[in-house]
Amino acid sequence: MKNLKRISALLILMAFVISCNSMKNNSNNTITGKVDSIESGKDGYTAKITTDTKEVYFATISIVNVGGPQNYKQVKIGDQVSLKGEIWKTDDEKHMKVQEIVSVK
C-alpha cells in the first residue's frame, strides 16, 4: 500500500513537471507578417498580423509584457513585423501575447 502511494505521488509530480515545461516552451513562438490593422488599448494595442502563409494572428503588444518602455515600439499599418511570444487559439482566431518585438520594417 505504501508503494502504491509513492508511485502515485511520483506520477503526479512527473505530470506537473511536464505540464510546466510545455507551458514554458509556448513563449518561444515567433510570427512574421504584415500589420493589417491596429486597435488601441490601455497600455498598448492589438495588431492584426497576416503571415506569408495567410494565417491571421491578433498580437497584443503592451508595455508591461515586452519588459518596459525601452522595449516597446508602436507599429504602423503596412509594417512588416517579427514578434515573439505566447500563442493561444480560440475557436476561430489565433492570438499572441507579445513578449519581444524582434523587428519592424
Confidence category of residue 24, pLDDT binned at 50, 70, 90: very low
| 33: in domain | yes
Secondary structure class of 90 (helix, strand, coil): coil
Q: Looking at the domain assignment, is residue 3 inside a domain?
A: no
Per the structure, the count of domains in the chain is 1
Whether residue 77 is contained in a domain is answered as: yes
Note whether residue 16 is domain-resident. no
Long-range CB pairs of 45-54 (<8 Å, 24+ gap) are 45/74, 47/75, 47/81, 49/81, 49/83, 49/96
> Residue 48: inside a domain, yes or no?
yes
Write the CATH number for 70.
2.40.50.140
Residue 14, SS3?
Answer: helix
Average pLDDT of the residues in 14-30: 62
Predicted pLDDT at 23: 45
- Pull the grid cell for residue 28: 518561444
Per-residue pLDDT at 8: 73
Tell me, yes or no, whether 93 lies in a domain. Answer: yes
Q: Counting beta carbons within 10 angstroms of the beta carbon of residue 82, is it exposed (0 to 12), middle (13 to 18) or buried (19 or more)? A: middle
Range(s) of the domain holding residue 39: 28-104
Report the C-alpha gap between 63 and 45 in whole angstroms: 9
Each residue of 50-99: pLDDT tens digit?
999 999 999 999 999 999 999 999 999 999 999 999 999 999 999 999 99
